[in-house]
Chain A
């Protein structure tokens, strides 16, 4: 189902450039994070190509990570946020929205993804990007606040600008 809400723009951000991976891409080797500041939601999409499942033990698992700085190595796992394992040809040639991430709240500002690869002769063609959407409304902070006298039980009305 597709929803549209009056909440603004979106932005597509690269996360993992297209490549053939034969070893895990960890926080230490994936230098890219997505800065989610100003948005309410992030969808992370994986694009998969031809993979090697020759030994029937090759797997690819995605682990969502987060951090308070743009340095991927400083990111830590988001508990429970894993996708996979991709372990057979059903996962080839797909574009999959693997993580749908509401932002704010407990989520840190920067997101990244670990690609955990295992098996005898693993080889996974993969690319990842994120789509930020639902930009938060911003306003100019008021310099000072003026007290509004109220009578108990009487609602305060909005003060005209």
Chain B
């Protein structure tokens, strides 16, 4: 009798659990999350502080939010999970190659899409979950060059005129930039065409293709590296410069035109691309101490929580198609995607070492 009772109880429990899984209930998630009390988040964006404070205001759950670059995040997550001492619950991560190549397959983090929001997020952004899109673009200083972009074709960056005047984030420490370069060498045709368009003749190269040749010329043109988009936008945009450099930074930095008196503008019309589409993935860490709060946070940054990124300031887009956008964004995300290269995580992982070595060799010549 006891046995039957126990089995019956178990069945009921299982059924409840199953139904909880199939029928998503935001209220239940909020209650479960509030019981957990707090949340630790590592994000690549400094806006995590503001978003965390808003989250606490709305749900009463404290967020310890820290800005942290991808390599450091990966290092910590691997260590924490391996040590079975997980501190962080949720991450905002940009290194898609490492994510799809290792962190997800090996079970360090998992991607969770809030069932009630599945309809409004494009399928290709769901696995793994992307919550934020940003254009990383080439920009210039209007004090130096006026309102007409001084460069119309990326091959001009490799000319003597721009020697020592192109600034990018250190590719060695910016996996997304490596992924961008990988995309150029795996799909070189647009660059080959752009070369012909600019110089009126086909490119002759000893390298494997136009992508490698472009990278070689770009790196060897005394390209300057900096550690953050903020540094780059300041160096490029500082008011009153005569021969300001051109920088490769996230569009969102142009918000500082007002707050820091910068003179940044995008190189609109740049051929064959203005830059690339930088995704930020929102993920939950394995065996994290506050799993429900982590889920709620993911839900939050896909619904109301993304405002500090996408609405309050320019330059970033929610992957949620129903989300409002900032008016200064120079177009919708749909329009932007045509001007930007989309990264391919699988190719980026495969090419990473080669591209990195190529960078190390060319840039240290």
Are chains A and B native binding partners rather than an unrelated pairing? no
Which residue numbers of B lie inside 8 Å of A, CB to CB? none
Which residue numbers of A lie inside 8 Å of B, CB to CB? none
